A and B are shown apart, each in its own frame.
Chain A
């Protein structure tokens, strides 16, 4: 367990910290994109006076950036919504931007790089066309294989970006890829969705509370390389605490819904990981009810070990992280794709590996 994880479980421990601990802590927090969350955590526990000014400056800087990007995300959402409302296509906000429009706890600290939206599957092509003709463009370079991969095998179209703005729009039509072994039927999600009042002219939807949590779990554990990282685990914990406090019987609803949507396994992983790595408190009844969704013993402990090494590595850039990451990457594709498709995909990606995009161009100096 790394230092960040230990602090999330027990923030009081920073009272005894010296320079060495803070120097270890800052890069972990930055890499996990949790500077804003830790600032809130220390504030909530009256610990801010224990945090050195220099570290506070870094945390406040990150939070200022987050609040700015949140504003941009909302503006982008309104623009997209306006275009799609004209086409009478219902829009659902997902993940970060959903927490924002529904004013849920992660919105107090959570950064976002893009906005994730869902439209009904039958409307997805029309929605993409409408956005393309209203000034959005495919963001980044996609070769034919990538485009094919997105459209045919995934649950989204390639990311779009408006030519005049910074923020990316990811348009989904389902919460898990249609080819994966764990399926969430989008129709069931639309049935229980709730409308929020964040935009004018036409409704904007977010998932029901139970589904917000299940989506987080599916996204975190069904995705390549646990991409959202510890940040998504903390999202889960913040949402879970909020709904449990707000709605009596929430645990039962959540379990019921997990069974309905066939997401017991991801819910199990998310809840247990939240408990292990971020100090989420789960009731004994809830833990007992989750047990049937746990994998068999040797696999469960292997997975918990892998998850911990990827989400909470002792130091940044450790080999064991890379290896654990790789295994999870393969596993997540195994979950997502039928076997033959997996072999084809991995061999294509191994042959055509891409360089990261360079960022120097815009730099001062």
Chain B
């Protein structure tokens, strides 16, 4: 069938956000969405009109009867709608997923580690993990204790340099993690609650102004810690054999197979220079303390 796009208006002036190495132009009219976007990223707004844009994301209402009854919102990239419409109130999580989709499907110039990454000065702690490992929550907690947020999800590595780029974004805390973070730090800056998304109840932690201001500052991998959340477990930080660490890391890289040899070399080089651990944890206060201790040694 022909494309269903019937909107022919010239695009309104876009808001340009810097998201790590990417410049994103956002076209949207929904005021609530724009307010949320500004709450999270006001320090990352690019003030110049002469910015090269990587991704142009448009958030709009679909043109249907749903405009009035249970209104929806739609995300468009280069005139393509990669997802079905979401409920209007979920525009911000949809934007975040949409940008992740853009990056995951196109940014193969970088090696994309499925990992939370935080930095202490110019040294990075990498927390790879599959969903449920607690890497997002742990990254959030470390960030709240002063670590610079690089990313909670996408460790962007330049394979030729072996360094990690910062891409601080709102950290989507899911379900029980929301309360865990609030208990850990009642003053944490959280955005609105989205009670019903495809990933359950979601609330984002705002990256601090200093992380956003230092988006240009890469960090060298120094510690590689594979976290594992286990309720009621005692913290245990155990050195990990490098061969094993290599296998785990390769498995936790979105585009490892796609990049082939480039990724193999980059992971091998990184494993050669970092200290590798596994980390079982349950309580965030003790977990962050233990990791901070590691970093200070």
A26 within 8 A of B: yes
CB-CB < 8 A to B83: which residues of A?
358-360
- CB of B38 to closest CB in A, whole Å: 20
Secondary structure at the B interface, as helix, strand, loop or mixed, is loop
CA A57 to CA B23, docked complex, whole Å: 13
CB of B198 within 8 A of CB of A365, answer no
Secondary structure at the A interface, as helix, strand, loop or mixed, is helix
CB of A30 within 8 A of CB of B78, answer yes
A305 within 8 A of B: no
Residues of A within 8 A of B (CB): 18-19, 22-23, 26-27, 30-31, 52, 54-55, 57-58, 60-62, 64-65, 68, 225, 315-322, 325-326, 329, 349, 353, 355-356, 358-361, 363-365
Q: Nearest chain-B residue to A225 (Cβ)? A: B2
Q: Which of B153-183 contact A (CB under 8 A)?
A: 153-154, 172
CA A316 to CA B96, docked complex, whole Å: 22
CA A329 to CA B260, docked complex, whole Å: 40
Residue in A225, A317, A326 whose CB lies within 8 Å of B79: A317
CB of B2 within 8 A of CB of A322, answer yes
Looking at A18, A54, A317, A355, which has the most chain B CB atoms within 10 Å of its CB? A317
Which one of B102-110, B208-216, B223-231 is at the interface?
B102-110
CB of B79 within 8 A of CB of A316, answer yes
B100 within 8 A of A: yes
CA A240 to CA B289, docked complex, whole Å: 66
CB-CB < 8 A to A22: which residues of B?
52
CB<8 Å pairs between A and B, sample of 12:
A19-B50, A27-B79, A31-B79, A31-B80, A52-B52, A54-B23, A60-B109, A61-B108, A68-B258, A225-B2, A322-B6, A363-B100
CB-CB < 8 A to A355: which residues of B?
84
Q: Mark B190-212, 1 if CB is under 8 A from A, else 0.
A: 00000000100000000000000
B29 within 8 A of A: no
> Is the interface on chain B under 10, 10 to 19, 20 to 34, or 35 or more residues?
35 or more
B297 within 8 A of A: no
CB of A26 within 8 A of CB of B254, answer no
Knowing A23-B53, A317-B76, A364-B154, say if A359 contacts B101 (CB, 8 Å). Answer: yes
The 10 closest A-B pairs by CB, nearest first: A316-B79, A325-B2, A317-B79, A319-B8, A61-B108, A317-B5, A57-B109, A68-B258, A27-B78, A64-B108
B268 within 8 A of A: no
CB of A19 within 8 A of CB of B259, answer no
CB of A58 within 8 A of CB of B114, answer no
B68 within 8 A of A: no
- CB of B235 to closest CB in A, whole Å: 26
New contact pairs (6) apart from A319-B5, A319-B8, CB-CB < 8 Å: A27-B56, A317-B3, A317-B76, A317-B79, A320-B8, A356-B81
CA A156 to CA B276, docked complex, whole Å: 53
CB-CB < 8 A to B84: which residues of A?
355-356, 358, 360
CB of A322 within 8 A of CB of B5, answer yes
CB of B50 within 8 A of CB of A363, answer no
CA A58 to CA B172, docked complex, whole Å: 26
CA A267 to CA B198, docked complex, whole Å: 48
CA A8 to CA B8, docked complex, whole Å: 26
CB-CB < 8 A to A349: which residues of B?
1
